Chains A and B, each alone.
Chain A
């Protein structure tokens, strides 16, 4: 397969995943901001959305100040935000279009449908319409993932698309967790207090895992258990360990198909071994924030290794 084709598939996967993640962040912020709490909580919710998406410097540099309106507009549509939902879907579609022949008709229609829908829905500002917009974005990522898994041959095209999704998802889960743990609780609020509790449950909702949490732990929501679920639990499809497992299996399939392993495979499987040996107590002891920062760096290094090995 052409390296450029692999690159476009990989980025189609990453951008579609990112669009979904942004929709989830915005949805959670709307819920948090609706809490009957002090004004501080509202601002915190929207500031948290900016921080979790990793666009704080761009947002600040644009001269905007944090408010529901400005954050919604910036993350969903911001013409000056190169990773807004709109930008992500547009880039995913541009990438997909440039490798149209590597996609099944169903997958292309799902991606093209996301882009058509984006143009039809415009840039809604009313809260109801905006929520519909977010629902639409989430439904497109399901459609894309479903179309790819149901219709694509299990060959390199599929592995590169899925690899992009898995690497992006790992990055997104890590950021979510870090922001909640490190930044979110405003001064004066008690750890374990009502706002804190609500924030943790919202985090679980963001990754569609509130019900899963109750099934797994049968306890009220506790920070270290949420972290355990999102970092180490292999049953949880968005956990760092699960994402890492997917990354390893896609890379191994590529290695088998091509008959050659490389630095990306070695890097990925070393990390998976570390997950298998890790315990959440140890992670907390040495600091969750430090752990996540380390994870994000390694995830980036892995992405760079994939790039180097296959995509140029």
Chain B
């Protein structure tokens, strides 16, 4: 709650601070235990790959909310809409005329040889030219001067169920706190999502399009979220085996016979979605889905091929991409980044590896990265070898002095580093942002890694009204 080490309490936290002052000393711990019990009973869990023992784990939940003032949020919201609008325009262009490549905004080889670029999509236009229906943009704050974008997640971003469940939990645990704050509700998210998906249906779908959520199945780490969303949307949660394609039309198998499907909110990666087009050994996809997609008979959300926009190397060009497609300067800043594919940058990075964070271009989940200041000499040297062998695969960024938020640690509050993932929805009807997001918190003292697979936790995120 202290901005940039200034040592004063941010305005948005003043009511909370006063309330905590008067609360009985063990109240937070008691509420924290209650929360854990409830999450376990509900089965709000995620699976950790390669961790057989605790195959279903709870993500630690911190009961102290992260609070964002109305003005601050206003700026964020504008920046997010601008950014996602640009990303959609960028994807439309990449898979269309490729003006931005010709104009020298992004290098051709970075796009055309990118593993997430899908040549199959070249020349295709999804309904309303919307490619990225659901985006989760990771932000960090480094001081008074606002937020930086850490990465854009425009393939199948997860975490929105925690945004919604954490709020439910907080309203249950601290009803009186809500009475003292004007917190904007997040539960409209599912409504926004439903309308967004309906608006994205193919033209032949009729008044009331059939929407489904496609999951790889119960063994996927985000399965809980998939079932949660299907439930809140009031649509079927399907697996690949529940769908089949006949005459370029997608159907689901029901107890009353085949039923046509118009919009698929898929939580399966491009590679696995159709064994006839992509990975032939995929057991979770739907054979023939892509031919129905190409025939314009079904909408996939997100579209196939969006990964080319959230690649960490393409990220470094986002300020130029935003200017090119919107004619404006980017409202949300990029973290300054060295592209190791460029010789000068590589040289500079190798000279100060112990100060930098180095990330694999295609990595995610906090794996495959080097955090210089907290790594041993041996780790740094091992990473140096990898970097020299394959510089194209890496980018480097300065270690940011991330902002912290008060977090329950034993019996008292301690500052812990946080990030923020708001969710942005796009449809032919427009771009909208849910007033909130997923706040992830690095629970270990000093740690900067907030990923749930690496011991991070979550907090409820409050966006204040007026």
Interface assignment of B42: CB less than 8 Å from any CB of chain A: yes
B368 an interface residue at 8 Å Cβ cutoff?
no
A1-42 to B contact mask, C-beta < 8 Å, 1/0: 111111000000000000000000000000000000000000
Main secondary structure of the interface of B (DSSP, over half): mixed
How far is B256's CA from A156's CA once the two chains are assembled, in angstroms?
Answer: 11
Contacts of A2 in B (CB 8 A): 236, 238, 242, 252-255
Q: How would residues 219 to 233 of chain B score, 1 for a CB under 8 Å from any chain A CB and 0 otherwise?
A: 000011001001100
**One of A68-76, A93-101, A216-224, A225-233 contacting the partner:** A93-101
Determine which of B43, B238, B239 lies in contact with A108 in the assembled complex, contact meaning CB atoms within 8 Å.
B43
From B215, which residue of chain A is reached at the shortest CB distance?
A98
> Which residues of A are found within 8 Å of B230, using beta-carbon distances?
101
A197 within 8 A of B: no
B232-272 interface mask toward A, CB cutoff 8 Å, 1 = contact, 0 = none?
00001111011000000000111110000000000000000
Judge if A199 is at the interface, Cβ distance under 8 Å. no
Q: Which residues of B contact A310 (CB under 8 A)?
A: 255
Interchain CB contact under 8 A, B231 and A6: no
Q: Given that A4-B241, A98-B217, A112-B43 are contacting pairs, would A258 and B255 also be in contact in the complex, using a CB cutoff of 8 Å?
A: yes
A109 at the interface (CB under 8 A from B): yes
Query: Does B41 reach chain A (CB closer than 8 Å)?
Result: yes
Q: B373 interface residue, CB < 8 Å from A?
A: no
Per DSSP, are chain A's interface residues mostly helix, strand or loop, or mixed?
A: helix
For A109, what are the chain B residues with a Cβ–Cβ distance below 8 Å?
A: 41-42
Are A94 and B253 closer than 8 Å at their CB atoms?
no
Tell whether, in the assembled complex, residue B41 and residue A101 are in contact, meaning their CB atoms are under 8 Å apart: no
- Asked whether A97 lies within 8 Å of B43 as measured between CB atoms, the reply is yes
List chain B residues, Cβ under 8 A from A112. 41, 43
Whether B255 lies near A101 (C-beta < 8 A) is no
A119-133 Cβ-contact flags toward B at 8 Å (1 or 0): 000000000000000
Chain B residues whose C-beta falls within 8 Å of the C-beta of A4 in the assembled complex: 238-239, 241-242, 253
Residue B218 interfacial (CB < 8 Å): yes
Contacts A98-B218, A101-B230 hold; do A3 and B42 have CB atoms under 8 A apart?
no
Kindly supply a per-residue 1/0 record for chain A positions 147-162, scoring 1 wherever the CB is within 8 Å of any chain B CB and 0 otherwise.
0000000001000100
Q: How large is the interface on B (under 10, 10 to 19, 20 to 34, 35 or more residues)?
A: 20 to 34
Do B231 and A97 have beta carbons less than 8 Å apart?
Answer: no
Residues of A with C-beta under 8 A to B252:
2
Contact with B218, one of A97, A105, A260 (Cβ below 8 angstroms): A97
Query: Across the interface, which residues of A come within 8 angstroms of B239, CB to CB?
Result: 4
Q: State in angstroms the CA–CA spacing of A310 and B257 once bound together.
A: 8
Taking CB atoms and an 8 Å cut-off, the chain A residues in 167-215 that contact chain B are none
B236 contacts A94, CB within 8 Å?
A: no
- Complex Cα distance, B257 from A311, in Å, reads 10
* Min distance, Cβ B332 to any Cβ of chain A, angstroms: 35
Closest to A156 in B: B255
In the bound assembly, the distance between CA atoms of A116 and B256 in angstroms comes to: 35
Q: How distant is A76 from chain B, measured CB to nearest CB, in Å?
A: 22
Q: Are A1 and B255 in contact (CB under 8 A)?
A: yes
- CB under 8 Å from chain A, chain B span 20-40: 40
- The complex places the Cα of A4 from the Cα of B243 at a distance, in Å, of 11
Measured CA separation A99–B242 after assembly (Å): 13
- A109 CA to B256 CA, complexed, in Å: 29
Cα-based distance from A266 to B322 in the complex (angstroms): 66
Would you call B231 and A101 a contact (CB within 8 A)? yes
**Distance in Å: Cβ of A154 to nearest Cβ of chain B:** 16
Please indicate the chain A residues that have their CB under 8 angstroms from the CB of B238 in the complex: 2, 4
Complex: A2 Cα to B253 Cα, angstroms: 6
If the complex has contacts A101-B231, A156-B255, are A3 and B242 also in contact, measured as CB distance less than 8 A? yes
Nearest-neighbour CB distance to chain A for B221, whole angstroms, equals 14
- B217 neighbours in A (Cβ, 8 Å): 98
Taken residue by residue from 97 to 115, chain A's Cβ proximity to chain B (1 for < 8 Å, 0 otherwise) reads as 1111100010011001100
Q: How far is B39's CA from A112's CA once the two chains are assembled, in angstroms?
A: 12
A158 to chain B, nearest CB (A): 13
Instruction: Out of B40, B223, B231, B254, name the residue touching A3 (CB < 8 Å).
Output: B254
Q: Out of B40, B42, B43, B237, which one reaches A101, CB within 8 Å? A: B237
**Contact A100-B253, Cβ < 8 Å, known A4-B239, A4-B242:** no
Taken together as a complex, chains A and B put the C-alpha atoms of A112 and B56 apart, in Å, by 13
CA distance A5 to B253 in the complex (A): 10
A-side contacts of B253, CB under 8 Å: 2-4, 312
Q: How far is the CB of A161 from chain B (nearest CB, A)?
A: 13
A168 vs chain B, min Cβ distance (A): 20
Among residues of A, the one whose C-beta sits closest to the C-beta of B56 is: A97
The CA-CA distance from A100 to B241 in the complex, in Å, is 17
Further 17 A-B residue pairs, CB within 8 A, beyond A2-B253, A5-B236, A116-B40? A3-B254, A4-B238, A4-B239, A4-B241, A4-B242, A94-B218, A97-B223, A98-B218, A99-B237, A100-B43, A100-B227, A108-B42, A112-B43, A113-B41, A254-B255, A310-B255, A311-B255
Q: List 5 A-B contacts (CB under 8 A).
A: A1-B256, A2-B253, A3-B242, A101-B237, A112-B43
In the A-B complex, the 8 residue pairs with the closest CB atoms:
A101-B231, A100-B227, A3-B253, A310-B255, A98-B218, A6-B255, A1-B255, A101-B230
